[in-house]
């Protein structure tokens, strides 16, 4: 389970060889006014494994762009089966590891790692560990499952000051291999970060937590917070989609307003960011799939219209959108009609989906990434107050995870999973506002309640 994220004053380092048309693009370095970047940037991050030579799995050190690393049961691979950007990536087998032999002298905030299965190997798991003394390492974030042959990005909150060393450990054992590439380190904001915002009160879209610690700092281009009156979301500029959207649903949001169908760009994004247009999905074979649904916001015309902003959309296969998700959304409103209020978080991960025109990884000339998976978490509470404190180990929480492809059915119950599994796949902390003791129980469960 992810630990709650701390607010950072930070910058995100970019890897210049990534192309938005082909890979997750990372931002150009942008420093906040109070941030000193020299120590981290001199270490050579991001690390793309494009320098150095190590062709055997035998434990040994190699000098990379960021400095000296020890590769244990790992090598630098450049075959066609190695998943990579550029010419090389790290390949790890058994319980091998990648470890820095140098210190990051100004701490580490969020660390991002791209990962994929090697060749046709089976799914494997791995973890990120960190040390402030070069000897005692602690696990950071959750155990991450790698199940795709396409590079996916995991964001892990290290949040350590001072000197930091990092280790990536393959934990699942066996001969199945993993590739790692494009490791970035976001400098920690210092020993006296600004205080966190107050905990959201009842009926707020972030009452149950901010799953990625998204902020309105414009340098956070892959985790930018848009907190709207109708919903809140973390926007990923370089994918052109939200990573997650969160909203509250009760009877006050429902009324007689008609569906507006006014799909349009969101002009509240920071200046200079590409704005996905209402026509950007045209001819792609993918629906403009709502996260916060139109039918959840019918109290006023303005509330309904807000759901048609393209920052609330993902490229969603027509079957997934119109059949599977429509059935779940209708059921959610049925739960509301039965006297409940709902807290709903929906998100995506992975790269590449299949719409009516076939498989695509990006659309709109590479400016929008098509997700591989679409997930949702629904917290069901009787209408009341002090909502966070009322979530108990007996509270019904529905979590589903579906493939973004044709062929999915209206039986959404078959896609139920645990929040722990979603967090392992995404690196998020979905219900971060709940007490840890409650999270540990409810996030491990798989719902088995009624589906209609």
In the annotated binding site for Mg(2+), the residues are: 321
> Which residues fall in the annotated binding site?
321
The two tokens of residue 426 are: 């995404």
Catalytic residue among 23, 205, 248, 290: 290
23 belongs to the catalytic site: no
Chain-centre distance of CA 74, in angstroms?
A: 27
Nearest Cα neighbor of 182 from 213, 144, 151, 140 is 151
Nearest to 378 by CA among 408, 351, 417, 436: 417
Label each residue of the chain as H, E or C.
Answer: CCCCCCCCCCCCCCCCCCCCCCCCCCCCCCCCCCCCCHHHHHCCCCECCCCCCCCCCCCEEEEECCEEEEEEEEEEECCCCCCCCCCCEEEEEEEEEEEECCCECCCEEEEEEEEEECCCCCCEEEEEEEECCCCCEEEEEEEEEECCCCCEEEEEEEEECCCEEEEEEECCCCCCCEEEEEEEECCCCCCCCCCCCCCCCCCCCCCCCCCCCCECCCCCCCCEEEECCCCEEEEECCCCEEEEEEEEECHHHCCCCCCCCCCECCCCCCCCCCCCCCCCCCCCCCEEEECCCHHHCCCCHHHHHHCCEHHHEEEECHHHHHHHHHHHHHHHHHHHHCCEEEEEEEEEECCCEEECCEEECEECCCCEECCCEEEEEEEEEECCCCHHHHCCCCCCEEEEEEECCCCCCCCHHHHECCHHHHHHHHCCCCCCCCCHHHHHHHCCCCCCCCCC
Positions marked catalytic:
290
């Amino acid at each position: 389970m992810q630990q709650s994220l701390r607010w950072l004053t930070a910058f995100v380092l970019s890897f210049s060889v990534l192309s938005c048309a082909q890979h997750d693009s990372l931002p150009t370095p942008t420093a906040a006014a109070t941030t000193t970047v020299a120590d981290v940037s001199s270490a050579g991050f991001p690390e793309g494994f494009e320098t150095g030579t190590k062709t055997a799995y035998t434990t040994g050190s190699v000098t990379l762009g960021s400095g000296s690393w020890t590769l244990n049961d790992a090598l630098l691979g450049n075959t066609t089966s190695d998943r990579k950007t550029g010419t090389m990536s790290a390949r790890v087998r058994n319980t091998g590891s990648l470890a820095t032999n140098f210190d990051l002298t100004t701490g580490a905030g969020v660390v991002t790692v791209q990962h994929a299965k090697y060749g046709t190997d089976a799914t494997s798991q791995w973890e990120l560990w960190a040390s402030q003394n070069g000897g005692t390492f602690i696990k950071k974030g959750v155990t991450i499952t790698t199940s795709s042959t396409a590079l996916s990005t995991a964001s892990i909150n290290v949040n350590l000051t001072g000197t930091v060393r990092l280790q990536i450990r393959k934990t699942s054992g066996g001969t199945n291999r993993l590739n790692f590439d494009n490791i970035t380190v976001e400098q920690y904001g210092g020993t006296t970060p600004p205080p966190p915002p107050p905990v959201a009160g009842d009926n707020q879209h972030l009452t149950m937590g901010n799953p990625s610690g998204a902020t309105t700092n414009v340098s956070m281009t892959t985790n930018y917070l848009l907190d709207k009156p109708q919903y809140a979301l973390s926007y990923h500029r370089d994918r052109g989609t939200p990573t997650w959207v969160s909203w509250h649903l009760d009877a006050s949001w429902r009324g007689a307003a008609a569906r507006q169908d006014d799909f349009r760009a969101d002009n509240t994004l920071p200046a200079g960011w590409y704005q996905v247009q209402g026509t950007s999905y045209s001819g792609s074979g993918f629906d403009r799939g709502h996260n916060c649904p139109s039918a959840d916001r019918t109290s006023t015309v303005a509330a309904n219209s807000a759901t048609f902003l393209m920052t609330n959309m993902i490229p969603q296969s027509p079957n997934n959108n119109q059949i599977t998700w429509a059935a779940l959304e209708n059921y959610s409103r049925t739960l509301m009609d039965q006297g409940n209020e709902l807290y709903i978080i929906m998100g995506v991960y992975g790269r590449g989906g299949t719409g009516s025109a076939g498989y695509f990884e990006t659309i709109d000339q590479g400016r929008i990434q098509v997700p591989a998976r679409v997930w949702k978490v629904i917290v069901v509470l009787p209408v009341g107050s002090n909502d966070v404190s009322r979530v108990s180990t007996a509270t019904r929480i529905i979590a589903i995870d579906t493939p973004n492809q044709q062929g999915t059915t209206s039986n959404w119950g078959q896609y139920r999973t645990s929040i722990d599994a979603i967090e392992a796949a995404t690196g998020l902390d979905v219900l971060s506002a709940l007490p840890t003791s409650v999270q540990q129980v409810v996030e491990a469960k798989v719902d088995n309640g009624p589906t209609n």
